[in-house]
Amino acid sequence: MKRLSLWLIGAVALAMPLGRAVAQDAGRLNQLVSRIEARAEAMTADDKVPVSRGALFRGNLTDARHALEELALAGEPAIPGLTRLLGSRRAHLRANAAYGLGEVGGPKTVEPLVSVARDTNGAVRFHAALALGNTGSAAALPALNELASDREEAVRAVAIQVSGHLRDVLAAEAAETTDQKIAGLVKLCYSQPACSRLAAYGGAAVPPLIAALDDADRGNVSGAASALSRIGDARALEPLAAHFATSVQAGKPEMKFAQAIAEFRGREVWPYLKKLLEADLPTAQYYALERIGNFDHPERLETLRGFLTAQVAKNVHSTAPKGSEMQINPVAVTCEILARIGDKSFNEILAKIVAEAPSAEKSIVKPLAQKALDAIKQRG
């Protein structure tokens, strides 16, 4: 009896911190949902939301996008919060909530997505159709069949495509063994539904996905890189980095590898993000900076400071785009991040950028640097 009592005490002692951790995690997810909801008034009017991927949060709603991505990364525990967002009166928010459920994927997202498959707004139906493909469930097919006759051409097109991809996924997963299922899905990983299902197999899918990085079909290569990024198994980092380096050396940088590294779901990615910053390629730097800005790492500010200092030394901050050319300016991206997380140690270099950058009419660098300075001052 004494031994049993000691076991019970130990079990209770273990359960208490676990319970607190679960409660803390739930609290964090609720905070993310509230942060997104708080931005509702800044969202696009219902009749102006594009019936396309252009409905995803961007621009002045970048903070909401980051919160949504962080929420979706939690996986199934995020479903209640995302379902709550589906009930918003703002179509822009409902469309992004549907997208978030698609990022979570799996059969448990079918019910909330079906609930908005008949939404009055085309953008919401569009993103519901995309997300239903990632459920990996035959239960999503009736809603997709209905969306295939939608009044919006863009919704019809995506529903027909996704429905076909989902049927292919279901056929592949009808195989007898796990290895056979994975092998069938790898052949289909040019499609988002197949990538989403491969991620559900975790580490077992990593070796065949790494092998698929050498596939002659570049669509399959992109899908394999994306699936490896979602799985977040450290074994994939070196192959992804090696393929990116090879493409750069060949003079044809393949940004799908840089993007897969930047979006890699694992903390082991940190040194690889720093390597992307060292590549003199603005798009690769952009991917890395976006991830670093949302990466809670003790070296984050030091890394941003070193990168910004090097860019200013190269006069990247004072170079205006030629004519109407659209360019990714790494200094502008860094300033945007510093507006959220920078501290007083950046004041001097930000002031230098404000003083030396071209006018706001020629470049976005000056206003973004000023915005960062103002934000840091406000935070004290």
Angle at 135 between CA 129 and CA 138, to 5 degrees: 90
Residues 77 and 87: their CA atoms lie apart, in Å, by: 18
The Cα–Cα gap between 301 and 356 comes to 23
pLDDT for residue 24: 60
Total domain count, the chain = 1
Pseudo-torsion of CA 173, 177, 181, 184, nearest 10°?
-120
Percent of the chain scoring above 70 in pLDDT: 92
Question: Chain-wide mean pLDDT for the chain?
Answer: 91
pLDDT greater than 50 at residue 92: yes
Band of pLDDT at residue 4, cut at 50, 70 and 90 = very low
At 319 the pLDDT is 80
For residue 323, is it within any domain? Answer: no
Residue 340 lies in a domain: no
pLDDT, one tens digit per residue, over 29-38 is 999 999 999 9
H runs (alpha helix) in the chain: 2-37, 62-73, 79-86, 91-104, 110-114, 122-132, 141-147, 153-172, 178-186, 192-200, 206-212, 218-231, 237-249, 255-262, 270-278, 282-293, 300-313, 330-341, 347-356, 365-379
Whether 209 maps to a domain, the answer reads yes
Residue type, 227: A
Q: What is the pLDDT of residue 325?
A: 40
- Give per-residue pLDDT as tens, 212-227: 999 999 999 999 999 9
State the Cα–Cα distance between residues 16 and 13, nearest whole angstrom: 5
Average pLDDT for 232-260:
96
pLDDT value, residue 375: 95
Centre a 10 Å sphere on the Cβ of residue 105 and count the other Cβ atoms it contains: 25
- Split at pLDDT 50, 70, 90, the class of 22 is low
How many CA atoms within 13 Å lie on the side-chain side of 344?
4
Domain limits for position 222: 176-276
CATH number of the domain that residue 236 is part of: 1.25.10.10
200: in domain: yes
Please, are residues 291 and 262 in contact by the beta-carbon 8 Å criterion? yes
Please report the pLDDT score of residue 327 as a whole number: 63
| CA dihedral of 347, 330, 44, 96, whole degrees rounded to 10 | -110
Distance in angstroms (rounded) separating the CA atoms of residues 132 and 90 = 21
* Locus of tokens 């950058």: 357
Separation of alpha carbons 121 and 123, rounded Å? 6
- What Rg, from alpha-carbon coordinates, does the chain have? 23
What was the pLDDT predicted at 355? 95
115 domain residue, yes or no: no
In the predicted structure, residue 13 carries a pLDDT above the cut 80: no
The CA distance from 182 to 16, in Å, is: 39
The per-residue pLDDT for range 299-329, each reduced to its tens digit, is 999 999 999 999 999 999 988 765 444 468 8
Confidence of residue 59 (pLDDT cuts 50, 70, 90): confident
Name the pLDDT band for 62 (thresholds 50, 70, 90): confident
pLDDT at residue number 8? 45
Place of tokens 């990466």: 295
Measured distance CA(258)–CA(248) in Å, rounded: 11
What does the pLDDT look like over 102-123, one tens digit per residue? 999 999 999 999 999 999 999 9
- Is pTM, for the whole model, over 0.95? no
Count of C-beta atoms within a 10 Å radius of residue 157: 14
Inside any domain, residue 191: yes
Domain contains 244: yes
pLDDT in tens, 140-177: 999 999 999 999 999 999 999 999 999 999 999 999 99
Tokens of 199: 């991620």
pLDDT 10s digits, 248-298: 999 999 999 999 999 998 899 999 999 999 998 999 999 999 999 989 899
Residue 257 maps to a domain: yes
Whole-angstrom distance, CA of residue 166 vs CA of residue 206: 21
- Collect all residues with Cβ–Cβ distance below 8 Å to 370 and sequence separation of at least 6: 354
For helices 237-249 and 255-262, the axis angle rounded to 10 degrees is 150
321-375 pLDDT per residue, tens: 654 444 688 999 999 999 999 999 999 999 999 999 998 888 889 999 999 999 9
Q: What is residue 74's predicted lDDT score, i.e. its pLDDT? A: 92
Tell me the residue type at 249.
Q
Gap between the Cα atoms of 212 and 1, Å rounded: 58
